[in-house]
Amino acid sequence: VPSYAIIVREHFPASEAGARVGMVIMATMIGMALGGWLSGKVFDFTGSYHAAFLNGIAWNLLNLSIASTLLWRVRKRRVAMNKVLSSRT
């Protein structure tokens, strides 16, 4: 859970950190609760754990793509800042 606070701090103003971290943690808990329920529904519908695991893999790929995009944006911003700072010297 602590990594959520760091991610929020990197992307939003410090004055909004408390509310945003709370929203992120709430969304995480809802996702965890619904993930098991949804996989159970998929199993009930298909009668196979194969489809339920594919459901989990799909959601994890979505999470990975979001995290990768955020990381790419932060690195791109840092490279731009380094160029600006190096041009001043």
Q: What phi and psi, each to the nearest 5 degrees, are found at residue 47?
A: 75, 20
The reported pLDDT for the residue numbered 85 is 80
C-alpha distance across the termini of the chain, in Å? 40
Who has greater pLDDT, 78 or 52? 52
pLDDT band of 53, cuts 50, 70, 90: very high
The reported pLDDT for the residue numbered 64 is 92
With H, G, I as helix, E, B as strand and everything else as coil, classify residue 48: coil
Percent of residues in the chain assigned helix, strand, coil, to nearest 5: 95, 0, 5
Q: What is d(CA 47, CA 40) in angstroms, rounded to the nearest whole number?
A: 10
* Contact of 8 with 21, CB cutoff 8 Å: yes
pLDDT above 90 covers a percentage of the chain that reads 34
What residue spans define the domains of the chain?
Answer: 2-88
Q: What is d(CA 52, CA 45) in angstroms, rounded to the nearest whole number?
A: 10
| pLDDT at residue 1 is higher than 60 | no
pLDDT digits (tens, 9 = 90+) for 9-29: 878 888 988 899 999 889 889
